[in-house]
Amino acid sequence: MTPLPVTPPAEPRGPSNLTLRIIVGIALVAVALTGVLLGGIVFWLLCVVLGIVMMGEWAGLQSAPHETKRLAQYALSVPLAIMAPGIGAGAGFLTLGLLIGAAFFVVIVTGRRGLAQGIFYVGLPIMALLVIRRQDAGILFTLWALALVWACDIGAYAAGRVIGGAKIAPAISPNKTWAGLVGGVLAASLFAAFLHYRYGLPLRMTLATPVLAVLAQGGDFYESWLKRRAGVKDSGTLLPGHGGVLDRLDGLVPVAPVAALLVLLPKVYWW
């Protein structure tokens, strides 16, 4: 009799993509919370590292060659360096002017307006977060700005998976649904209400949270459009299961500057 073929034992399977996403997501949140709580140079350095990586990914979405990408990163590094608390001038009007100057430098040297726009796309949110963190209640305000985006992402994902329904813009982002949009806004709003009643988050920020949640999902759509135009699935490969840094922070990009304006608004007595 011919012996039956022996089936080799299956190799152990690695973690599923969802499990990997959860593990990396938890690690990212832990790093972000550590930076926020420590503040100062630590938070600035974290922002600088993320900003340089984001600028490189932005250049990739603009199909910029390697040398041009490096030039854009070097141009952005100047205003980022000046933002260093206690060492440079800090985040303020001077650094805003340097961001404008860096963008002009990039467009003049490279002739790529899209690449120069990345200086603002990356630099303004970082500047806004540094401004928020240096306030007296900077830890609370920064956690609010970051976590409302996280809550929005979680709520949108959960509602989209459970409820499903009509797509918002399938040609740009085929997985985004109206149910997900509502779920994301609701989750972010509930989180802000918790911060208001438990930790005293100002009412103006609490009431503005639903609008910021919509902005966060708008930032997600914008980056999805950029990726479709570039013909890529992710902005990068640095974060296993998540893609690039831009893929994780696209919602924060439009939220952070608006959140900073809300933080800096003159306080009204009943707010």
Residue extents of the structural domains in the chain: 31-134, 137-271
Q: Which two tokens stand for residue 145?
A: 């700005």
pTM exceeds 0.85, yes or no? yes
Q: What 3-state DSSP class applies to 265?
A: coil
**Chain CA centroid to CA 163, Å:** 26
Cα 86-95-28 angle, rounded to 5 deg: 70
Q: What is the DSSP string of 58-88?
A: HHHHTT--HHHHHHHHHHHHHHHHHT-TTTS
Backbone angles phi and psi of 52, in degrees to 5: -65, -40
pLDDT in tens, the chain (271 residues): 444 444 444 434 444 576 877 888 888 889 999 999 999 999 999 999 999 999 999 999 998 899 999 999 999 999 999 999 877 677 778 889 999 999 999 999 999 999 999 999 999 999 999 999 999 999 999 999 999 999 999 998 888 888 877 888 888 888 888 988 999 999 999 999 999 999 999 999 999 999 999 999 999 999 989 998 988 888 877 877 778 899 889 999 999 999 999 999 865 444 4
In angstroms, what CA-CA distances link 16 with 19, 153, 220, 241? Answer: 5, 20, 24, 9
Q: Which two tokens stand for residue 167?
A: 């797509």
On the CB side of 245, CA atoms within 13 Å amount to 18
Taking residue 199's Cβ as centre, other Cβ atoms within 10 Å add up to 12
What is the rounded distance in angstroms from the CA atom of residue 43 to the CA atom of residue 126? 10
**96 within 8 A of 102, measured Cβ to Cβ:** no
